């Protein structure tokens, strides 16, 4: 019997409940719950990452995935989510969660009509990608009830991870991911991988052959090698990053003096201040500002309060 993961027609929602920070509510103001094409499988794209800062390439990944899904699969994309990682990720150049959530929210609300930011992962302790995807599955299918087909029947919306080629490379390296997490992510949910010039995708996917039916390689027809690391380097050197990032994000960075030589000092003070005021999971002061009305306002003001 083959051990390969076959394409899934539906994804069962998890029975577990998830602990959420105080005053958290799952954003779904742009999630389409009315399916237009009953012959297609409804999916939601979820990108997990640092987003420090979010760039145009991050947003383009969603658009490329939608084009690929429409032309090469039987999927119907119902929505897209950006999920910034927790501060506990401890990655170099990682700004505090409030700043990153603010920048992602400004980027999606000002430039897109279907993308959203879910801060659930950002304001908690470190969460594995598999758990984050389970959270989306629970909120979308258990709480919201999934998608309604033209016939009036409801069906599960499949959650699919969206990532760059560097992720699939780490997944193919022994010891980086547990076998259980790989099987949970690739076997249950699946992943859209945006190919990058110079990356050896054949070698990476060969090691993950048992899940190949759930791995969708999306070609990048117009090469874009903008990265958050390069943007941070530009900012530290006093170079312009306009047209590499959405304008509201550039203005936010300038307003808060982020990623400059002294920014790391300010960031350390910000994190120490927030830790002294709140417990690790008490993010009510942040979430009270996360409401769709404030998100849609055309302004560079903070969506999440940063003091």
Band (171; pLDDT cuts 50, 70, 90): confident
236 φ/ψ sector (left φ>0, alpha ψ -120 to 50, else beta): alpha
Band (115; pLDDT cuts 50, 70, 90): very high
Token digits for 39?
């012959």
Which range (1-5, 37-41, 64-68) has the least confidence? 1-5
Query: What was the pLDDT predicted at 249?
Result: 98
* Domain 41-296: assigned CATH number: 3.40.50.620
Query: What was the pLDDT predicted at 170?
Result: 86
> Does residue 266 have a pLDDT over 50?
no
Using the structure block, give the residue that is written with the tokens 């989510």: 81
Q: Cβ distance 51 to 231 under 8 Å?
A: no
The pLDDT tens digits for 32-42 are: 999 999 999 99
> Does residue 226 have a pLDDT over 60?
yes
In this prediction, residues 231-254 reach a mean pLDDT of 97
Q: What is the pTM assigned to this prediction? A: 0.82
Query: What was the pLDDT predicted at 300?
Result: 42
229-236's contacts with Cβ under 8 Å and 24+ in sequence apart are: 229/93, 231/53, 231/55, 231/259, 232/52, 232/53, 232/93, 232/259, 235/259, 235/260, 236/260, 236/261
Biggest CA–CA distance in the chain, Å, is 59
In this prediction, residues 283-293 reach a mean pLDDT of 42
Q: What percent of the chain has pLDDT over 90?
A: 64
Query: What was the pLDDT predicted at 285?
Result: 46
The pLDDT tens digits for 121-130 are: 999 889 999 9
> Does residue 287 have a pLDDT over 80?
no
């Amino acid at each position: 019997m083959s051990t390969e993961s076959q394409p899934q027609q539906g994804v069962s929602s998890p029975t577990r409940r998830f602990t959420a920070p105080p005053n958290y509510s799952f954003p779904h103001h742009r999630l389409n719950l009315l399916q237009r094409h009953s012959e297609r499988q409804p999916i939601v794209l979820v990108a997990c990452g640092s987003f420090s800062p979010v760039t145009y390439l991050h947003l383009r990944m969603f658009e490329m995935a939608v084009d690929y899904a429409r032309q090469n699969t039987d999927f119907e994309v119902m929505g897209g989510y950006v999920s910034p990682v927790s501060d506990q990720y401890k990655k170099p150049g990682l700004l505090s969660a409030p700043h990153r959530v603010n920048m992602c929210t400004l980027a999606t609300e000002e430039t897109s009509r279907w993308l959203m930011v879910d801060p659930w992962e950002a304001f908690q302790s470190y969460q594995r990608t598999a758990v984050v995807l389970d959270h989306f599955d629970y909120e979308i299918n258990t709480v919201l009830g999934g998608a309604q087909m033209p016939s009036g029947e409801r069906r599960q919306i499949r959650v699919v991870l969206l990532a760059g080629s560097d992720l699939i490379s780490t997944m193919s390296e022994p010891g980086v991911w547990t076998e259980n997490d790989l099987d949970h992510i690739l076997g249950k949910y699946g992943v859209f991988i945006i190919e990058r010039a110079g990356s050896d995708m054949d070698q990476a996917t060969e090691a993950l052959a048992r899940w190949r039916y759930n791995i969708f390689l999306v070609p990048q027809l117009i090469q874009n090698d903008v990265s958050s690391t390069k943007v941070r380097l530009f900012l530290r050197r006093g170079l312009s990053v306009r047209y590499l990032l959405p304008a509201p994000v550039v203005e936010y960075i300038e307003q808060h003096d982020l990623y400059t030589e002294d920014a790391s000092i300010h960031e350390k003070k910000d994190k120490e201040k927030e830790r002294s005021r709140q417990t690790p999971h008490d993010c009510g002061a942040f979430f009270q500002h996360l409401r769709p009305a404030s998100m849609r306002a055309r302004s560079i003001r903070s969506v999440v309060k940063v003091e």
